[in-house]
Structure 1
Amino acid sequence: MRVKPLFAAVAALFVLTACGGDGGDAGGIGPGGFGNGAGQAAQGGDNPADPNEGTLENPTRNGGVNGSAPDDATGFLGLPKAGSMAAAAEFINGYTRCDDISVDPQDDDFFPGDEDFDADWSVTERGACGRGTRIFMIKDAKAFQAAYKADLDKRLVDDPEEDLGGGFVIGQDFAVISTQESAAYSLLQRGGLLMLNCHPSFGPPSGFRKEKALVDGCVLTDYFED
């Protein structure tokens, strides 16, 4: 199973309230303290001299964890960066319940097909924290985005509408899938993450972000369509 069953089985991503919802509302999907975000430090923060600016250790309002990324195709550099599975789970837990992380591939919290997101996708570690939420740590973000686009291109041959609403919700070095429909809205609008969308027909409504991803043909957006 690839991204298709994950996104078809549930229609949205991530969850609930900014203070850690209880994960009670299921039925949707879309498709980490935090490390030093040196790549983010110069992206318009309040203190460019601070090497941790733009990370969870020191959020900023201009291109950092709590703010909007610049509009000059550097949106990816404004995303949160975790550095570890524990830190990614801690961040996600601020927006949807993710306080019991497991990395055991035999755990029932993993979905069949999660193992497809492996070294070929530059995924180095998989974690699950129940209620349908799974985390994928990424070594090479560009390789991950390229793998998602290649997989989507194959699936579009059979279904031109496949993943029109988008794929994974991503940070700089992690990606998330969840069966919690309202989680996507919280992570995108409050958490500062962005949706990876590689559908050739995608276009968000006016007022939503649509910025270049690391791979041609893909964009990063805060618009979520279940």
Structure 2
Amino acid sequence: MRLTKTLAAGAVALSALVTLTGCGGGAGNGGAGKGSSADSGLPKASTMAELQKFVVGTGAQCDEFGPSNELRMLEESRDPAWSIKERGVCNERLVLLLIDDMAKFQAAAAKAKTSVPRILIGQNFALTNLGGDGQLLMQNGLTHLSCGREDRDSLPSGFTAKDGLVKSCFTTDYLPD
């Protein structure tokens, strides 16, 4: 009898463990949810529709969405070195970029001869021209990408910096004004 109860309890625990590990967002869910630690925990989006849904879900303004002549990241989106798959704009200001290869994107940002705007990144997307929504977006899982050595050296105490996918870039939970 005791063995039966022990086996039953073990089966219930194993079943709960299998159920819990199957939950969550990540590469397998195709959505813009949070991923597992294996995929850095950053949000991911497979399509522009998913990316817009993520942005709206953070509380950021994105009621008017589509292609735009907004100049931020327009030339870069046409340059294959940046690995930008698709570009869209919310409310003629917040630029949404789906990225094919984040390492290439970061390498291009590091090599940019002109000033690269403040960029927040997920696993496979980037947002720029943030306006007042930057902190709100960061509170929802995005991280700030910087490729300037002076930015890392001047990071205020208490904020974290993690190495980026290329040597000169890093990500941080600090977003300068």
Taking structure 2 as the reference length, the TM-score comes to 0.73
Match of 2:91 among 116, 120, 130: 130
Paired position in structure 2 for 1:143 = 104
**Hey, which of these two has a bigger chunk of strand by percent?**
2
Distance 2:106 2:32 in 1: 27
How many equivalent pairs are there?
A: 154
Q: Secondary structure at the match of 1:117?
A: helix
More relative contact order, 1 or 2 (CA 8 Å, 6+ apart): 1
How large is the RMSD of aligned CA atoms in angstroms? 2.9
Distance 1:93 1:196 in 2: 21
Q: Report if the CA contact (8 A) 1:125-1:136 is conserved.
A: yes
The answer for unaligned runs of 5 or more in structure 2 is 1-18
The answer as to 2:151 corresponding to 1:187 is: no
Distance 1:51 1:112 in 2: 33
Structure 1 residue 214, shift from structure 2 partner: 0.8
Paired position in structure 2 for 1:78 = 41
Higher-Rg member (1/2): 2
Paired position in structure 1 for 2:12 = none
Match of 2:76 among 116, 134, 137: 116
1:45-64 CA distance string (max 9 Å, x none): x94344735879595xxxx4
**Hey, which of these two has a bigger chunk of helix by percent?**
2
Paired position in structure 1 for 2:120 = 169
The answer for unaligned runs of 5 or more in structure 1 is 1-45, 156-161
Paired position in structure 1 for 2:52 = 89
Deviates more, 1:80-89 or 1:205-214: 205-214
Q: 1:143 to 1:115 in 2, by over 3 A?
A: same
Distance 2:105 2:95 in 1: 16
Q: 1:198 to 1:147 in 2, by over 3 A?
A: same
Q: Report if the CA contact (8 A) 1:89-1:99 is conserved.
A: no
Distance 2:134 2:110 in 1: 20
Taking structure 1 as the reference length, the TM-score comes to 0.59
Distance 1:82 1:57 in 2: 6
The answer as to 2:160 corresponding to 1:209 is: yes
Q: 1:201 to 1:170 in 2, by over 3 A?
A: same
